[in-house]
Amino acid sequence: METVKQKIQEVKKGSILSVPGFKAAGVHAGLRYTKKDVGVIISEKPAACAAVFTTNVFQAAPIAVTKDSLSQGRTIQAIIVNSACANACTGEQGMMDAYEMRKMAAEHLGLKVHHVAVASTGVIGEYMKMDKIHTGIKLLNPADDTESAEAFQTAILTTDTVTKGCAYQAEIGGKLVTMGGAAKGSGMIHPNMATMLGFITTDASIDAISLQHALSKVTNYTFNQITVDGDTSTNDMVMVLANGQAGNDLLSPEHEDWNVFVELLKMVSEDLAKKIAKDGEGATKLIEVQVTGAKGKLDAQKIAKTIVGSNLVKSAMYGADANWGRIIGAMGRSGVMFDPDQVDISFGNIMVLRNGQPVAFSEEDALQYLQNKTITIHVKMKEGNESGIAWGCDLTYDYVKINASYRS
C-alpha cells in the first residue's frame, strides 16, 4: 500500500511561484549596497493565512503589524518584506514605519490595508530608511515567472550565501494541490520560531483555522528543530497563504486526505528548514541528528536538538573528529532522564558507543565519513518507541568573522 509520503512528489526547481495564482517580485531599493532588498509575494485573490512567530520577548514592529492584519479576518493577499533592517527595538517610530510600510504596499498593489502582512530582517536597533522603502515598493512589479521567484528569494537574504526555495505536489480530494516555499536564514537561528523568515504558498482550499492547526503542528517537527547558533531572533515568522485555486473540497482535520495535506506541508517545511541549517553562517556541513527509542516524542526532539546545538559537537564535526564524548555530554545536560547504559551512538554506520560503552572503530573510516558535506549522527536509546530529528551545521572560524563585523 502506498504511504502518505509516497503520494507526494517534488517539483523540480520549484518555488513559491510553482503554485497557480501567485506572483512575486524583488528589487534593489538602496537598503543594501548593491543587492536586492525589498520583495513581495501577492495572491491573485485573498488567501486563508496561518502564521507562527518568534518566542523572543523582544518582537519587532513588523510582527505586531502582521498580527494586526491577521486579527481582522485571518485573510492575507500580499506579504511585503525587506532585508538589511530588522526594524526591531525601534520604539514608537519603528511601529509607525511598519504600519506605513503596510499602507504603501497596499496602495501600490491596490489591496485593502489589512490584507497585507509585513516582514523585516537585518540589523536590530536601526531605524528604517523609509524614503528607500517607498522607492522600492513603487518599483515592485510582481510576475509569475522563474526570475520573479528568484528575485524575491534574493531580496529577503541577509548573510545567507544561497537562496532557498522548493515546491511539492500531491493529489488531495481528487485535485492536484501544489505547495511552494521560500525562506531565508543563516545566523541567529534557534527557532522556537531565529533570524528566520519562511513563506509558503498553496492552492489548496482550506479554512484559516485548520491551516493554523496544521502549521503549528508541523513547525514543531521542522523549523523548530533547526539550530545554527542557539540564538532566537526578534523577527522570526513563517506564514502560509492558501488561495483555494486547486478546487478541492474544503480541507479540515476530518477530511479523508487531511494527513496528505499535513505531510505536504511538512515536506515543504522540512526542505526549507534543512536548507537554512545547511547555509548556517560559515558552515561547511549539514548535521542531522536522529534519536530513536525514546520514551516520548518531545524527549527525542529535545535530545536531538541539544546535540546538534552543542558548540563542542559542532566544532568536532568541523574538524572531522569522531569525539563521541561531546555527544553524550550534550545528551546528559538535555534535561531528559534516561538510562546511560542503554545508549548506542553511530556516525553514519560507524558505531562508536554500544550500551553506554566504547566500541573499537576505525578512526580512518570515521575521519573519511566526517569529511562529508552531510553528516548523520544516530542515537539509539532503549526507553520506548519515540523518535526525533534535528538539523544544524558545523561551527567554523568564518562564523566568528561574519558576526564580529555584522553591522559593518
Give 82's strand partners.
38, 120
Nearest to 313 by CA among 303, 301, 323: 323
Q: DSSP letters along 313-347, please?
A: HHHHHHTT---THHHHHHHHTSS----GGGEEEEE
Calpha distance 392→274 (Å, rounded) = 8
- State whether residue 146 is helix, strand or coil: helix
- Please tell me which residue in 54, 90, 159, 195 is annotated as part of the active site: 195
Calpha distance 124→88 (Å, rounded) = 5
Left, alpha or beta for 55 (phi > 0: left; psi -120 to 50: alpha)? alpha
Nearest to 191 by CA among 237, 153, 158: 237
Cα dihedral value 386, 288, 84, 216, nearest 10 = -20
Alpha-carbon distance values, 185 to 154, 189, 190, 274, 340 (Å): 12, 7, 10, 11, 35
Residues 289 and 167: beta-carbon distance below 8 Å: no
163 flagged as catalytic: no
| Letter string b/e over residues 284-300, b meaning 16 or more CB atoms within 10 A of that residue's CB | ebbbbbbbbbbeeeebb
Catalytic residue IDs: 195
